[in-house]
Amino acid sequence: MTVADGFAARLRAATRDEHERAERSPFVEALLRGDLGREAYAALLGQGHLFHSALEEAGEVWRGDPVVGRFVLDPLRRSPALEADLAWLLGRDWRGHVRALDATTSYVERLRAVCSTDRAAFVAHHYTRYLGDLSGGQVIRRRLRDAYGLEVDGVRSYCFDGIGKPKPFRDRYRALLDETPWRPGECDALIAEANLAFRLNRAVLDDLAATHC
């Protein structure tokens, strides 16, 4: 089996449309143009902290698993960096400013419903969150620097200092997807859940747009 024929390539192709829809979110486009204030960006990070925390809680369940535990990589964890960004943007009492949007509540409920018990679902959400942040997230970081003057403070959640160069890491992650001994039916289930994850994320962005755009 070649790299192009592997499961990682199949997953990427099968989720491309949903991924691109999320990237074209009016909220993201307005934010990256610099049309919104820092409070809108802080709102985005606040929602991100809620669903990253839920996903990382599920990761602790799988940490010792001989198969899926290999995806639980501490350098990918975003919660500490998100907390640092939110504290810098909103102050030490930032938690009092974060309120879950309706779409975020649905997203977190889905994560808690499936990610601690279904290994394919966990990897699906892990993939959509972290590989996306490692790819488009780096572009977002540069655009936020240009639009809002955020160099390090405020954009730490887009910094992955512990993984080395992003591309070799992404290649290793995709190789891990290919090498994992998935059970019959798990690949299809993982693809379906990954597409759902992109839709849930897009709904959060739509809610943010309704509030800030």
pTM (2 decimals)? 0.94
For residue 3, pLDDT over 70 is answered with: no
What are the DSSP E strand ranges found in the chain? Answer: none
Q: How far apart are CA 128 and CA 68, in angstroms?
A: 15
DSSP assignment of 52-114, as one string? HHHHHHHHHHHTT-TTGGGG--GGG--HHHHHHHHHHHH-TTGGGG----HHHHHHHHHHHHH
Percent of the chain scoring above 70 in pLDDT: 98
Q: What is the mean pLDDT of residues 9-19?
A: 95
pLDDT confidence band for 135 (50 / 70 / 90): confident
- Domain 3-212: give its CATH code: 1.20.910.10
pLDDT, one tens digit per residue, over 57-89 is 999 999 999 999 999 999 999 999 999 999 999
pLDDT, one tens digit per residue, over 113-123 is 999 999 999 99
For residue 4, pLDDT over 60 is answered with: no
Give ∠ CA 66-137-111 in degrees, rounded to 5: 45
